[in-house]
Structure 1
Amino acid sequence: MKKTLVALMLAFGAGSALADKPAITVVLSSPDTMTQGMAMVLANQMQAQGGQVDILLCDKAADLALKGAGGDALKPNNVTPAQLLDGAMQKGASASVCALYLPNSGKTAADLKEGVKPAKPDAMGLALMEQGRKVIGF
């Protein structure tokens, strides 16, 4: 009986507020360190406030997804955008590089940090159209 009641509640949305986190996609393509940093700070903040954050890195910003990515540390916390990306991923954010990045950068999937995947345009297109998903571009 309890299983049926739970199933009915979920089917009619009574439990959806508890089961679902707000879906947010952060699209980052800027080569600018401060813009990258702000995007990653906000991604971490949205995640800390209950959002399920998915990060899509394109163009020069996708270099953040490379193993050993460095960069300039930003004040006041003296962290790089790459370190902020790592922190978001460690807390459950997904990260992917746009489908054009690897074939046009001379890099391969083996060059990416653990957990970063090449995006699949069909799956990414569907995700971006999900009802209720917020898409934020930097």
Structure 2
Amino acid sequence: MTRLKTHLATAAAALCLYAGSAAAQEAPKLVTILTEAVPQTQLMAMVLTLQAAQQGAAPHVLLCEAGGDLALKEAPESATAGQPPMDVSPQGLMQKIMTMPGAKVEVCALYLPGLGQGPEILLEGVGVAKPGAMAQAMMAADARMSF
């Protein structure tokens, strides 16, 4: 009986290790869609996204309309000016998010054509979302949405 308990305990421990490593490999996904022009709202979206990333989520940020301005090399002051209380800018926090494991930042497919520009005006590491792939990311079973 003791031998059976030892085997069961070993099997249970192995199962826990396997489940833990599988969970570590597949982080939950957070899709943040930002369209807002107000700097404090932009910053709060980035704060919440960063917090989720620090708690293990893989952030996928989609920037549309005025939110897309965060992705510009020559972003407006509203995107680059530090906001209270920590004097951090929405663009600065977005760039920090971009360094997180599994992070992806993209502008909407319509953003650059709407400006009459190409991807060369975007910060390095910012992509252009493909509608089909973005829809798939939004519908993923393990994805959470943030607007």
TM-score by length of 2: 0.80
C-alpha distance in 1 between matches for 2:24 and 2:132: 29
Amino acid at match of 1:48: Q
Higher helix share: 2
Q: Residues 83 and 89 of structure 2 are in contact (CA less than 8 Å); yes or no, is this contact kept in structure 1? A: yes
Deviates more, 1:16-25 or 1:28-37: 16-25
Query: What is residue 119 of structure 2 aligned with on the other side?
Result: 109
2:61 match: secondary structure: strand
Query: What are the within-5 Å matches in structure 2 for residues 96-135 of structure 1?
Result: 96-135=106-145
Query: What is residue 22 of structure 1 aligned with on the other side?
Result: 28
Describe the superposition over 1:82-126 as per-residue Cα deviations: whole angstroms up to 9, x where unpaired: 101011112232100001101001221000000101100011111
C-alpha distance in 2 between matches for 1:18 and 1:55: 21
Matched, 1:43 2:43: no
C-alpha distance in 2 between matches for 1:26 and 1:97: 12
Query: What is residue 31 of structure 1 aligned with on the other side?
Result: 37
Which of 64, 85, 90 does residue 94 from structure 2 map onto? 85
C-alpha distance in 2 between matches for 1:100 and 1:68: 19
| CA RMSD between the two structures | 1.5
Which of 57, 61, 64 does residue 55 from structure 1 map onto? 61
Amino acid at match of 2:84: K
Structure 2 gap ranges (5+): 1-14
| Matched pairs, number | 126
- How far did 1:127 drift? 1.2
- How far did 1:68 drift? 3.5
**Structure possessing the higher radius of gyration over alpha carbons:** 2
C-alpha distance in 2 between matches for 1:18 and 1:87: 22
Amino acid at match of 1:84: L
Could you tell me the percent identity over the aligned residues? 38
Amino acid at match of 1:90: T
Amino acid at match of 2:112: L
Describe the superposition over 1:25-84 as per-residue Cα deviations: whole angstroms up to 9, x where unpaired: 000001111100000011111111111001000001101001142433101110110101
